[in-house]
Amino acid sequence: MNILLQKFNTPFGTPPFEEIKNEYFLPAIQEAIKIGKKDVKKITSNKEAPTFENTLEALERSGELVGLISGIFFNLNSAETNDEIQKIAKDISPLLSEYSNDIMLDEKLFQRVKAVYEQMDSLMLSPEEKTLLDKTYKGFVRNGANLPEEQKLKLREIDKELSKLSLEFGENVLKETNNFFMEVSDKKDLSGLPEHVIETAALTAKEKGKEGSWIFTLQFPSYLPFMTYADNRALREKMFRAYGSKAFKGDENDNQEIILKKVKLRHERANLLGYKTHADFVLEERMAEAPEKVIDFLNNLLKYAKPVAEKEVKELMDYAKSIGGPDKLEKWDIAYYSEKLKMEKYSIDDEMLKPYFKLENVIDGVFQVAQKLYGLQFKELKNVQVYHPEVKVYEVLDELCRHTAVFYADFFPRPGKRGGAWITSFRGQKKQNGEDVRPHVSIVCNFTKPTATKPSLLTFDEVLTLFHEFGHALHGMLADGKYESLSGTSVYWDFVELPSQVLENWVYEKESLDLFAKHYETGAPIPLDLIKKIKESANFMEAYQTVRQVGLAKLDMGWHIAKATEVKDVGAYEKELLKETELLTPVEGVSTSTSFSHIFQGGYSSGYYSYKWAEVLDADAFEFFQERGIFNKDTANLFRKHVLSAGGSEHPMELYKRFRGKEPSPEALLRRSGILK
Distance of alpha carbon 10 from its chain centroid, rounded? Answer: 29
pLDDT value for 304? 94
pLDDT value for 51? 97
Residue 215: enclosing H or E segment and its boundaries?
strand 214-217
Per-chain mean pLDDT for the chain: 95
27-48 per-position pLDDT tens digit: 999 999 999 999 999 999 999 9
- pTM for this prediction: 0.83
Which residues are CB-neighbours of 80 under 8 A, at least 6 positions away? 387, 388, 414, 416, 417
592-629 per-position pLDDT tens digit: 999 999 999 988 999 999 999 999 999 999 999 999 99
40-96 per-position pLDDT tens digit: 999 999 999 999 999 999 999 999 999 999 999 999 999 999 999 999 999 999 999
Distance, CA of 477 to CA of 62 (rounded, Å)? 23
pLDDT value for 448? 87
> Do 355-486 and 3-104+106-146 fall under one CATH topology?
no
**H-type helices in 52-194, by residue range?**
58-61, 64-79, 83-104, 107-117, 127-142, 149-179
Burial class (CB in 10 A: 0-12, 13-18, 19+), 494: buried
Confidence class for position 668, pLDDT limits 50, 70, 90: confident
Task: Calculate mean pLDDT across residues 217-237.
Answer: 96
**Residues of 432-441 as b/e, b for ≥16 C-beta within 10 angstroms?**
eeeeebbbbb
Question: 247-346+539-677, what's its fold?
Answer: Neurolysin; domain 3 (1.10.1370)
pLDDT value for 130? 97
User: Does the pLDDT at position 120 exceed 90?
Assistant: yes
pLDDT value for 21? 96
Is CATH 3.50.50.60 the classification given to domain 3-104+106-146?
no
pLDDT value for 583? 97
- Give me the residue spans of the domains in the chain: 3-104+106-146, 180-229, 247-346+539-677, 355-486
Task: Calculate mean pLDDT across residues 7-35.
Answer: 97
pLDDT value for 667? 84
377-396 per-position pLDDT tens digit: 999 999 999 999 999 999 99
Q: Residue 143: CA atoms inside 13 Å, Cβ hemisphere, count?
A: 20
Amino acid found at 233: R
447-463 per-position pLDDT tens digit: 988 988 899 999 999 99
CA distances for 638 relative to 14, 403, 436, 634, 674, angstroms: 31, 22, 22, 6, 28
Distance, CA of 289 to CA of 277 (rounded, Å)? 13
User: Does the pLDDT at position 494 exceed 90?
Assistant: no
Sign for the CA dihedral angle at 226, 227, 229, 230 comes to: positive
User: Does the pLDDT at position 243 exceed 80?
Assistant: yes
Residue range 355-486, CATH number: 3.40.390.10
Catalytic residue list: 469
Distance, CA of 261 to CA of 270 (rounded, Å)? 14
